[in-house]
Structure 1
Amino acid sequence: MISSGWLRSLFPLGLTFVQPGVPGLITVIIVEGLLITCMGIFNPISATERLQRTPADHTARILSTWSATGKLLQAALMVIWGILATLTSPLAAITASGVLLLATPLLLPAGTERTAYRRDEDIRVA
């Protein structure tokens, strides 16, 4: 989970190297393919990890909250980065978002010792 989380934050910086024409198209295809692969590995693992840490009686609330906040944050960030791209340039906005994405792996759970809830037994396991 940690390695795919780190990799998914690195690949968007590759979009800063996009050039006009075929080399730029190939760069976008490679970067997006690697990003989609890492996200395809990371997202299910992360969701499983978060749900395992959630008590069974809170699952519906947690899933609703993740869905709503994810959609709201996506819309808000599109507006913010659209404004930033308008004020500077699209390349500067992509570079700024790529640099900020490098900090997101620091938000991943780092410790191996954690408390999880076992859904099938409803007991707390350390």
Structure 2
Amino acid sequence: MPDSHDSLDLPADLSAVPRALQWIEALAERRGWTPRATFGLSLSLDEALTNVVSYAFDPPLTEDAPAIRVDCRTDGARIELELRDNGRAYDPTAGDPPPLVACLDEAGVGGHGVRLMRHYLDTLAYRRQDGWNCLTLVMRTA
């Protein structure tokens, strides 16, 4: 399978999440991803993107227009999503997720999405580059 690359530019609001999920599901269907890959990548993108649109940008917006971009690269052996935004610096991979609990009543808010992402993904990596947050999500397919 030849390398392929697709990109999606999104608004910095909650409409970005369903648009991104429709996009990733269309890619999955077109490229023949497994149900597990489709579910894991969709769930991970949903979690990461929801956090970006909810917390990365402070109103009133600065002179730099908020921007969000998702890139998808595949090479037959792996699928790589890169979520980039020019919002406030934040590394979701820093620190450990909260401990597992016996029941939902004991669970605190926050940090559980990263645990789910780490479960499904082979790589979850963050870097800050030239004023942009860059979150890379990788799943091996072979």
TM-score, normalising length: structure 2? 0.29
More helix by share: 1
TM-score, normalising length: structure 1? 0.31
Larger Rg: 1
- Structure with bigger RCO (C-alpha 8 Å, 6+ apart): 1
More strand by share: 2
